[in-house]
Amino acid sequence: MHKPTFMTLTRHILEGERMHPEATGELSALLHDLSLAAKVLSLEVNKAGLVDILGLTDQSNVHGETQKKLDIYAHDTLIRAMDHGGHLCVMASEEEEDIIHIPPHYKVGKYVLLFDPLDGSSNIDANISIGTIFSIYRRLSPEGTPGTLEDCLQPGDKQVAAGYIVYGSSTILVYSAGHGVHGFTLDPAFGEFILSHPDIRIPEKSNIYSINEGNYKYWHLGLKKYIKFLQDADNIRGEAYTARYIGSMVADIHRNMLYGGVYMYPSDIRSPNGKLRLMYECNPMAFIIEAAGGKATDGKQRILEIQPSSLHQRTPIFIGNASEVDKVHEFLETEILPD
């Protein structure tokens, strides 16, 4: 099929919708509303250095982390963009302890949206890439009623769509609705997301590993042995491994998905469940990476099979090339004695 060179996100979503006769267009409209929020956030993130919205607020979020002004701005922007479209019955955000109800005067829809409004926000003041992550489910509770916590606590393999926006050298929106992974770069000249990365597949070649090696002393032995293995080994193409760690999960995983590689935030002696959040960081990124041919586990099971028990629960994560994630498992499963 001839692929038009000027494929906008809106057109791509609508063409995806046409593949499903039963589609009502609600998911398309939801994704379109998300892309509008992404444009607004891109504008603010890219001028954050100029406008006084850098620096810390005097507030902290549910996790006790001091919120950056841009964190709160991104959270508020997403809610304002998404709460009145009539497609959602409930939302949940990293920045809000409880679920977020649709205001009573707005129509309630059939989808659920969970998001991390600004992942990697500790990097904001250093002008390092940061990102927004989103996860979409169909509701479980009866149509027309307010959404519930149970609507939000569904395993990741029930997602109908997921994606992220990276605010970096350019702003790119990557999403999957279950039919491939597609990347769209924002053309600021006329504010459109243009298809720049059709049908992303993670390359089998992988010589990048991403982990915070500053936590080495807290790692379990199997992980220590794996990282040592990487530092001594060559990959399947005889290339030495290289360490790349930005401190922004979205940026690290986006790079690894394009170049090949594995991102790890493991459990360790200090943090038995790791650091990253299951519902609005790991599940959507796992949905994307599996749709691109990769793998994402918690060191034992697929991220997408974890049955959630709370909105902000953490999980260890190993995500990237299937061969690399399998290799990690080999080391984690073998209790290896230190040298």
- List of residues contacting ligand P6P (CB under 6 A): 119-120, 122, 212, 247-249, 252, 275-276
Q: Any alpha helices (H) in 24-103, and if so which ranges?
A: 26-47, 69-82
Least distance between ligand P6P and beta carbon 116 (Å): 8
The residues that bridge with 114 in the sheet, in sequence order, are: 92, 135
N-to-C CA span, the chain:
57
Nearer to ligand P6P, 131 or 308 (CB): 131
Nearer to ligand P6P, 120 or 260 (CB): 120
Determine whether 70 is exposed, middle or buried from the number of CB atoms within 10 Å of its CB (0-12, 13-18, 19+): buried
**256, two tokens:** 């690894």
Nearer to ligand P6P, 208 or 276 (CB): 276
Q: Long-range pairs for 212-217 at CB < 8 Å and ≥24 separation?
A: 212/245, 212/247, 212/265, 213/243, 213/245, 215/268, 215/270
| CA atoms in the 13 A half-sphere facing the CB of 105 | 0
Least distance between ligand P6P and beta carbon 129 (Å): 10
Least distance between ligand P6P and beta carbon 150 (Å): 26
Nearer to ligand P6P, 195 or 276 (CB): 276
Least distance between ligand P6P and beta carbon 211 (Å): 8
Least distance between ligand P6P and beta carbon 115 (Å): 14
Least distance between ligand P6P and beta carbon 76 (Å): 20
C-beta atoms surrounding 69 within 10 Å: 19
Nearer to ligand P6P, 111 or 318 (CB): 318
Least distance between ligand P6P and beta carbon 68 (Å): 11
Nearer to ligand P6P, 155 or 247 (CB): 247
Contact in structure between 256 and 320 (CB atoms under 8 Å): yes
Q: Long-range pairs for 223-227 at CB < 8 Å and ≥24 separation?
A: 223/264, 223/266, 223/268, 223/328, 223/331, 223/332, 224/338, 225/331, 225/336, 226/327, 226/328, 226/331, 226/332
Least distance between ligand P6P and beta carbon 64 (Å): 13
Nearer to ligand P6P, 247 or 293 (CB): 247
Q: How far apart are CA 88 and CA 27, in angstroms?
A: 10
Print burial letters for 230-269: b (CB count within 10 Å at least 16), e (below 16). Answer: beeeebeeeeebeebbbebbbbbbbbbbbebbbbbbbbbe
- Ordered strands of the 171-176 beta sheet: 100-101, 88-93, 111-119, 130-138, 161-167, 171-176, 182-187, 192-197
- Provide the residue type at 308 as one letter: P
Nearer to ligand P6P, 148 or 215 (CB): 215
- Identify the residue whose tokens are 């959404």: 147
Nearer to ligand P6P, 68 or 327 (CB): 68
Q: How far apart are CA 122 and CA 124, in angstroms?
A: 6
Least distance between ligand P6P and beta carbon 256 (Å): 12
